[in-house]
Structure 1
């Protein structure tokens, strides 16, 4: 049985992992040692079945003349393509010898058409999982959102709506141009080649085999972006169809940005954390519905993923059940389990509001002291 925190309960401050935490790590590895092999049948059918449904729904919306049907098809396309897109997360963790061809097929069938090639995330996500970098200013996927001003949250979320136009600009115009302009190329690589949260992050130039994968993935996405821009400009693709494509991309980005808001507690202010403290700063939302819609491909078990990052997504639910049943109710494992997306959003909002109120109170007190 999963034990959830009470909504009013605040988690303890991160501590050095003690004997209980070391035991949790040992038990987690022991209880899940038979769950680490990815199932090719599940990966291929889930990912590309979702993509096929998403593309079919998008095409259906483009030819539909009924507002209600168009809306329903757009929503279906967003949900299914969002699921297919999130396999980019699995690609960063997979042992590709166990799933040969999957990364190439994903980039051709999902990454390039949706302007989200996997190089945007590969390498970046590994830094986020690093014990030395997680939650620090060097982490590309972390900001101390719980300690920032309240307006940061809606701005952070709604910025996702600009994603289609930024991707078209990146791959359709600036990317191809940058190959002939070295200073622009350096800027593109450092600042516009990562799916990041931290705006201060600067990406290093790719090396070795990864540089080769980067080049062909970028070329494929650029060809897709240029073709879309050109055919729309020439009137071959109707503006309505172009708009629906952008709406679906924006919907995918908005869903993912909302999920990102609750993937962590965002309470670390730059200090280095242990693996167990990374776990405590992350979240599990075990209920399958509606979690399977807003956090598919295992991402509703994000804290468990930080504990056991090599587990394939289809094993996370089984692993969670085993750990929740085997570990004591008051163990560190239960500290990261939450009942819903809504509860986590309220918690994060209260944290920013409380922080802002405290700052305002201190500022008012200082002003009163100066005028006394």
Structure 2
């Protein structure tokens, strides 16, 4: 879903008429030059050790209830003859399925043995039915957290959006509308064809098997246990996609089209959330952990709508970059502890923002600045 690539910046020597001047070291720009706040980093670890364990009694009911509400509301949208009522059901379905879908983010960070059966259950109930199995994010999102990759051309989830043209922002959002159609084509056509045409299979894996926004990102071939997991997830998603096409062709396209509209809305919500998850101001330099934190965004209470557009703990995205393995249900408590311990004048406070609209406005104004 990337919009434009990142071009590298090349430093050149300046020449006079007699000799080349010595090369000057390239200094980090913007937040990339931020030194680590060791007090904040130490406090983040020490103050949260007792809440760092994922609790199955929270994960399972939350995921199951979100999925059940989502599918129930989707059925209501499909079965309702009243367009207004159908639309209301569709909005409820989009919000609930959006929450259920975003557990894919948790799957990339929790230890594989932390929640027995949760990965399988989520893929069976959410990932495969929505044609977004966890393979699309596992092995990808963790690269975004790598110390030497974040904000660079090697980061699959980063583009310097704040430094791009104003038209790039609406395009970034609008392209998400086409995501469910692309996922259907991928699983129903491209993956099966790729199984019998190896060059196509490699292309689909490298270019169309990751939830990334960097168009230059290429996935490496899966190996070992992950490769086996990819095989079964792809098989399940392709079988489901082919069934959807067959059933729609023989029984009518209305349910599938309504489903596509609902998933399009979830994709747009996620794209808007992505738009404000970071400040997107880095120009390709490697960043310190503190620099990554300050380039990321928390929208803590009292922002009342944040749990809708940034569910499953993603309203604390900056804090998540300090503590990537912290379970989503503990982020609110971790935030309260750090804010109380470090104070209102600390580095920690600088990544906290009031809400969605101020962040969108800040980003839009940044794209309009002359470069």
Equivalent residues, number: 341
**1:50 alignment partner in structure 2:** 66
8 Å contact from structure 1 (residues 96, 102) kept in 2: no
- After TM superposition, give the deviation of residue 164 of structure 1 in Å: 1.1
Cα offsets for 1:3-39 (capped at 9, x unmatched): xxxxxxxxx7443425xx1010001111111110111
Cα offsets for 1:283-328 (capped at 9, x unmatched): 0000251000000000000000000001000000110011111103
1:340 aligns with 2:355: yes
**1:168 alignment partner in structure 2:** 184
**1:278 alignment partner in structure 2:** 292
**1:306 alignment partner in structure 2:** 321
Q: Distance in 1 between matches of 2:122 and 2:265?
A: 20
Q: 1:126 aligns with which of 138, 142, 145?
A: 142
Q: 2:255 aligns with which of 219, 236, 241?
A: 241
Alignment TM-score, normalising by the size of structure 2: 0.90
1:152 aligns with 2:191: no
Where does 1:1-372 land on structure 2 (aligned, <5 Å)?
13-18=31-36, 21-234=37-250, 236=251, 238-287=252-301, 288-354=303-369, 358-359=370-371
Cα offsets for 1:203-229 (capped at 9, x unmatched): 111011000111101111111111001
Q: Which runs of 5+ in 2 are unaligned?
A: 1-29
Report the 3-state secondary structure (helix = DSSP H, G, I; strand = E; otherwise coil) of the residue aligned with 1:283. Answer: coil
Q: Distance in 2 between matches of 1:320 and 1:326?
A: 10
Cα offsets for 1:86-118 (capped at 9, x unmatched): 000000001121200000000000001000000
- After TM superposition, give the deviation of residue 123 of structure 1 in Å: 0.6
Report the 3-state secondary structure (helix = DSSP H, G, I; strand = E; otherwise coil) of the residue aligned with 1:297. Answer: coil
Alignment TM-score, normalising by the size of structure 1: 0.90
Q: Which runs of 5+ in 1 are unaligned?
A: 1-11, 360-372
Q: Distance in 1 between matches of 2:245 and 2:268?
A: 22
- After TM superposition, give the deviation of residue 179 of structure 1 in Å: 0.4
- After TM superposition, give the deviation of residue 329 of structure 1 in Å: 1.7
Q: Distance in 1 between matches of 2:33 and 2:333?
A: 28
Cα offsets for 1:146-202 (capped at 9, x unmatched): 111110000011000001110011000011110000110110011010000101101
- Structure with bigger helix share is 1
**2:12 alignment partner in structure 1:** none
Runs of 4+ aligned structure 1 residues displaced above 4 Å come to none
